[in-house]
Structure 1
Amino acid sequence: MALSSGPHSGQWLRTYQPVAAPRLRLVCFPHAGGSASFFRTWPRHLPADWEVSAVCYPGRETRMAEPGITSMAELAGRIADVLEPQMTSRTVFFGHSMGASVAHEVTGLLAGRGAVGPAALLVSGRAAPHRLRHLGSGDGGLTDEELLARVGGLGGPGADFLHDPEMRDLFLPPIRADYRLIEAYVDEPKAPVVDIPVVAYFGSDDPDPAPDAVRAWAELTSAGCAARAFPGGHFYLSPHEAELVGDIRERLVALG
């Protein structure tokens, strides 16, 4: 049964090339302002019996009319509610940037409930929780232009849309909600140490987070942590998609 068939999951999850009885499920958590479709091409780099699903946050794609969620506790809790009854096959979480924090929090929530959790946690472009720092925007009160400059400076997919006034009106609200969540999360209690392997990826030219802040994820697992850098900045994933997903495949096969 594909992961997207559980209660309310059609709203929260998008599954690309569903597999009837997947040998492994990879659940992906997008970056701030990002959407599930960022991961739509990943299945082409993975075995045919692996299934890729991606979380669809409120305020984007088919959920554009919904307000964004500005609380990590609420966002992670609602995702955990959807995933908990569906962790029937071996599952691994991958999160990029803000998504890495969301994936970590969902992992902690599942463990706290005594529920089945992921077999591994893959984080990307994100400092370890205890190494996070404020972006300087306080409660998310950046002006539209300041927020656009910050997002555009990261060079992520869809950044060009923000120069179109009509598209900007659509994309700015969820981006602002995500940035408010990020800022508030810095000062919140974080998920505890996990007992599963962690792999931390980052772009070698990404100024924030710094490499040592990414490698600090090793301090939050009792099951070992590996780190790998790829050439590029915060969105190194786009030009190095095949190489990154190939590395993920090899590591997960090695884990058994």
Structure 2
Amino acid sequence: MTAAFRPARTVIRTRPVEAPAVRLFLFHHAGGSHLFFREWCALFPADWDVVLMEAPGRGLGGSEPLITELDALVERFRADLRGSLEGPYAFFGHSMGGLVATELARRIRADGEPGPRWLGLSAWAADLARPGDAEEPRYLRSDEALRELLATMGGTPAELLAVPELWDLFSPAIRGDFQLVDTAPAGLRAPLPELPQSLFGGQDDPVTPAAAVTVLAGRLPRLTGLHLHPGDHFYLREHREVIARQITADLTGVLREDTP
């Protein structure tokens, strides 16, 4: 039987399911929070336990300091989930969440523990060249340059970029998360070809181009799906119902294959 979760600010369960068919952990993007996925929980089968992960420094963990290094955030998540990864489980991460989910899966497997059955990566292209690699790191840019970048990425409310009080409130998490992504060593951004994986992306994504996602798909021998949708880096907002069905189908297929 799957162990019960210990209380943790980084773990949000809006619809707890005990002894679920599978636990699906959702990891948010840079500058985001669990709220990005909050409405997704009802889109999955009733016997799935959908768990929303939230990095410290926002939401329920707003009083905690931000974590700006990949190693530290992965270890924090792993500690908070210790004893709760029994039974079948899977990870789905969007953008920075794809990076974090991949590295968390890597470390769990490296220690000989049962890893996730499936990994879903959205708007993330593993160790392929990152946008801006030859430019000034995003977390070091001026407020004006950072706001311009966010405007081109889409997904950020216009009032957050225009109202100084809102910008001052949310920009530390945005800048801190960009630091985490932009300083992650290349070795910690490598894909996991041995894991069943599905890739998702926006056809007009200026950050992680669809072409980069397609290249990564060709390097994954256990690819379970390549799903490209109309839209920019935050294409998920318009297509969450369809994406949830694709996640359900791909993950269900893997679970059936694993059943003796």
TM-score by length of 1: 0.90
* Separation (CA, whole Å) in 2 of partners of 1:100 and 1:245: 16
Which stretch has the larger CA shift, 12-21 or 178-187? 178-187
- 2:93 is aligned, of 92, 95, 115, to 95
Deviations 1:103-142 (A, max 9, x none): 0000101011111211000000112223334352337211
Q: CA deviation at 1:153?
A: 2.2
Q: CA deviation at 1:215?
A: 2.5
| Maintained 8 Å contact 1:162/1:171 | no
Alignment-derived partner of residue 213 in structure 1: 212
Q: CA deviation at 1:152?
A: 2.5
Alignment-derived partner of residue 48 in structure 2: 50
Structure 1 stretches of at least 4 aligned residues deviating more than 6 Å after TM superposition: none
Deviations 1:6-27 (A, max 9, x none): 33x5211111211122111110
* Separation (CA, whole Å) in 2 of partners of 1:121 and 1:221: 12
* Separation (CA, whole Å) in 2 of partners of 1:242 and 1:76: 28
Q: Note the aligned Cα RMSD (angstroms).
A: 2.2
Q: CA deviation at 1:65?
A: 2.4
* Separation (CA, whole Å) in 1 of partners of 2:185 and 2:212: 14
Evaluate the alpha carbon distance shift between residue 243 and residue 224 of structure 1 in structure 2; reply closer, same or farther with a 3 A threshold. Answer: closer
Please state if 1:137 is matched with 2:136: yes
Percent of aligned positions that are identical: 33
Evaluate the alpha carbon distance shift between residue 153 and residue 253 of structure 1 in structure 2; reply closer, same or farther with a 3 A threshold. Answer: same
Alignment-derived partner of residue 251 in structure 1: 250
Partner amino acid, structure 2, of 1:245: A
* Separation (CA, whole Å) in 2 of partners of 1:192 and 1:241: 25
Alignment of 1:1-256 (within 5 A): 5-7=4-6, 9-135=7-133, 136-138=135-137, 140-185=139-184, 187=186, 189-191=188-190, 193-218=192-217, 221-255=220-254, 256=256
SS in 2 for 1:240: helix
SS in 2 for 1:227: strand
Which stretch has the larger CA shift, 229-238 or 62-71? 62-71
| Maintained 8 Å contact 1:23/1:90 | yes
Evaluate the alpha carbon distance shift between residue 70 and residue 37 of structure 1 in structure 2; reply closer, same or farther with a 3 A threshold. Answer: same
Evaluate the alpha carbon distance shift between residue 162 and residue 59 of structure 1 in structure 2; reply closer, same or farther with a 3 A threshold. Answer: farther
Q: CA deviation at 1:222?
A: 4.6
SS in 1 for 2:237: coil
SS in 1 for 2:121: strand
Q: CA deviation at 1:220?
A: 5.7
Deviations 1:18-75 (A, max 9, x none): 1122111110110000101111111221111111111111111122222211111111
Evaluate the alpha carbon distance shift between residue 217 and residue 107 of structure 1 in structure 2; reply closer, same or farther with a 3 A threshold. Answer: farther
Which stretch has the larger CA shift, 140-149 or 236-245? 140-149
* Separation (CA, whole Å) in 2 of partners of 1:16 and 1:206: 30
| Maintained 8 Å contact 1:121/1:196 | yes
In structure 2, list runs of 5 or more residues that go unmatched: none
* Separation (CA, whole Å) in 2 of partners of 1:175 and 1:139: 10
Alignment: residue pair count:
254
| Maintained 8 Å contact 2:11/2:51 | yes
| Maintained 8 Å contact 1:218/1:225 | no
Q: CA deviation at 1:187?
A: 4.3
Evaluate the alpha carbon distance shift between residue 224 and residue 247 of structure 1 in structure 2; reply closer, same or farther with a 3 A threshold. Answer: closer
Partner amino acid, structure 2, of 1:249: T
Deviations 1:167-206 (A, max 9, x none): 2111011111011111111545445634221111001111
| Maintained 8 Å contact 2:96/2:181 | yes
